[in-house]
Structure 1
Amino acid sequence: MSRSRQQVIRMLALVPYLQGNDGVPVNEVAAEFGVTPKVIRDDLRLLMYTGTGEYAGELIDFDLTALEVDGIVHIRDAEFMTRPLRISTREGVALIVALRTLRASASGSELTVVDSALAKLESAVGDTVSAPVDVLMDEVDPTIHSAIVHALAQGKRLQLTYATVSRDEQSDRAVDPRRLFTEQGRLYLEAWCLKAEDLRFFRLDRVVDAQLTDVDAQDHDVNERDMSDGIFTVGEATPYALVDLHPRAHWLTEYYQVELLEQSAAGIWRAKLFGADWAWLRRLVLRNAGSVTVIEPDTLRAHVVDDARLALQAYDERESSTKE
């Protein structure tokens, strides 16, 4: 189970525990939940941003002086946790769409839970969502999906055969699965790859085979990825171009995966520019024409030159027709 998931489960249990044990020492709370006092303090600070609104009385609060000075936990303004949840129609519709998205990647017992929640929400909201909401996901082999779900549920290692599109080849990988998630209509597995010795994301539609093993998955000490930046990571098979970045293109190093190699006195930076595929790299270079020069590979440089020539030719033809 990932650290973030463990934290959510712990925090959900923390509130009722603290409500029933007001004034409990933080060390005692840490011992009860099997973590360090620092972890509990971090949880409490995060809980202070949780509630039904954004003003005093709508957010969970703690006596910070008692916590920091005396190591005692006093919880306040958490009564809303015991009240029946009331949601607006708009919130209900958003939850229904989210559950339908979740259903597209669920399997086994998960489907029963999702379907039960969906039925209750759709009944409560009524005709507002009578029109169907279709969630389109890339097709995944149900056998592979089921094997991954079982590995996550049982905490077992997986043996994957994975297709690497950029090199048109398949590789065998032993991985310790962490979670399944969807991103831009695709289903991904986040796992620790023993071959790469790092965290990796695997598209399920590119998994050729997945076998559950008898080996227990290890809890590797890795930092959680910020998914707001997408799931792109640099690996052994990641395409890259050797480029010269002129001053107007230096901003690319702040937004994309770039490895700087050298910087000249003239302000030209030589770097490796990584991309999801060659087509993406070609488009990025063309969008920054005149500021990015491709050094290698020769095929990419040739494609960029050809595309630029065709664009200029089309522009010249349009100018000529306009003058006529």
Structure 2
Amino acid sequence: MSRSRQQVVRMLALVPYLQGNDGVPVNEVAAEFGVTPKVIRDDLRLLMYTGTGEYAGELIDFDLTALEQDGIVHIRDAEFMTRPLRISAREGIALIVALRTLRASASGLEVDVIDSALAKLESAVGDTVSASVDVLLDKVDPAIHGTIVEALTGRKRLALTYATASRDERSDRDVDPKRLFTEQGKLYLEAYCLKVEDMRFFRLDRIVSADVLAVDAEDHDDAPRDLSEGFFTVGEETPFVVVDLHPKAHWLTEYYQVDLVSQDDDGIWRAKIYGADWSWLRRLVLRNAGSVSVIEPDTLRSQVVDDARLALQAYSDDVVPKES
């Protein structure tokens, strides 16, 4: 289970525990939940922003003076947790769509839990829904899907054979899986690829085979990419760089937002690559030095050359990179 999921599960259990043990020392709480007192303190600070509204009495509160000075936990204003939650028809429909989307990427026991929640929501919403809502995802091999879920649940490394459409070839690689998610009707696996030593996205419909290895997945301290604003969202202000992609860099079109401009007979693809900011784009080009040539903007091109020059000077003062 990921650390963020562990935190959510722990905080859901914290509130009823603290309501039944008011005035408990924070050290006892930490021991009860198998974490450090600092983790519990951080959980409590986050819980203070949790509730059904934004005003006093609608948010969970704690006696911070007692917590900080005496190490004692006093919970307040959490009575709303025992009241049945009322949601509007619109909120119910939104939850139904979200659960159906989640179900499309679920497997095993998760499906039964989601189906149970869906049945209750659909019964509660009733005839207020004028038409059924279906969530359609590209079909993937259920055996591969199940293997990936097994690896995620057991925190095991995966051996994948992946088909790269842009190069019409397959590659074998070992990955440490992070999470499954859906975007634009497709299922993706986010994982740390040991072959390239970086985080990558893998479309499940392009995974040819997957095997769980008898090796624990490592924690590479890479935070999952924030997809709250959309996986491939491009706006008028989104930074982009125009580059020439040599054959070894064609794989970039599989993992990032790229608009192909042209392709020549020598296998050079001219493309726009979009990124969150200019520093990320600069690092991406530098990591693929020799396979990616910056065409524009000139400012980024100059920065890449300067960074490459400084890096090479660490090896030899006589080596100077050519403008490319």
User: How far off its partner does 1:129 sit?
Assistant: 2.1
CA RMSD of superposed structures (Å): 3.1
Give the equivalent residue in structure 2 for 1:276.
none
Q: Distance in 2 between matches of 1:146 and 1:60?
A: 38
Contact 2:178 2:224 in 1 (8 A): no
For residues 91-240 of structure 1, the aligned pairs below 5 Å read 91-228=91-228, 230-231=230-231, 237-238=251-252
1:271 maps onto 2:301 in alignment = yes
**What is the number of equivalent residue pairs in this alignment?**
261
The alpha-carbon distance between structure 1 residues 8 and 116, as it changes in their structure 2 partners (threshold 3 A), is: same
| Residues 161-170 or 71-80, more deviating | 161-170
Q: Distance in 2 between matches of 1:55 and 1:170?
A: 55
What's the % identity of the aligned pairs? Answer: 74
Q: Distance in 2 between matches of 1:268 and 1:196?
A: 28
Q: Distance in 1 between matches of 2:64 and 2:227?
A: 31
| Residues 142-151 or 163-172, more deviating | 163-172
User: How far off its partner does 1:202 sit?
Assistant: 1.5
Q: Specify every segment of 5 or more residues in structure 2 that has no aligned partner in the other structure, as ranges.
A: 233-247, 260-273, 287-296, 304-322
The alpha-carbon distance between structure 1 residues 201 and 127, as it changes in their structure 2 partners (threshold 3 A), is: same
In structure 2, what residue type is equivalent to 1:201? Answer: F
Contact 1:160 1:175 in 2 (8 A): yes
User: How far off its partner does 1:181 sit?
Assistant: 1.2
Post-superposition CA distance 1:265-310 (Å, at most 9, x none): xx9414399xxxxxxxxxxxxxxxxxxxxx97xxxxxxxxxxxxxx
2:228 alignment partner, SS class = helix
1:84 alignment partner, SS class = coil
2:148 alignment partner, SS class = helix
Q: Specify every segment of 5 or more residues in structure 1 that has no aligned partner in the other structure, as ranges.
A: 242-250, 274-294, 297-324
Q: Distance in 1 between matches of 2:24 and 2:40?
A: 12
User: How far off its partner does 1:45 sit?
Assistant: 1.1
Contact 1:258 1:272 in 2 (8 A): no
Q: Distance in 2 between matches of 1:252 and 1:13?
A: 39
The alpha-carbon distance between structure 1 residues 124 and 229, as it changes in their structure 2 partners (threshold 3 A), is: closer
Q: Distance in 1 between matches of 2:92 and 2:178?
A: 29
Q: Distance in 2 between matches of 1:73 and 1:36?
A: 15
Give the equivalent residue in structure 1 for 2:262.
none
Q: Which has the larger radius of gyration?
A: 1
The alpha-carbon distance between structure 1 residues 102 and 18, as it changes in their structure 2 partners (threshold 3 A), is: same
Give the equivalent residue in structure 2 for 1:40.
40
User: How far off its partner does 1:17 sit?
Assistant: 1.3
Q: Distance in 2 between matches of 1:121 and 1:229?
A: 27
User: How far off its partner does 1:101 sit?
Assistant: 1.1
User: How far off its partner does 1:257 sit?
Assistant: 4.0
Q: Distance in 2 between matches of 1:164 and 1:39?
A: 42
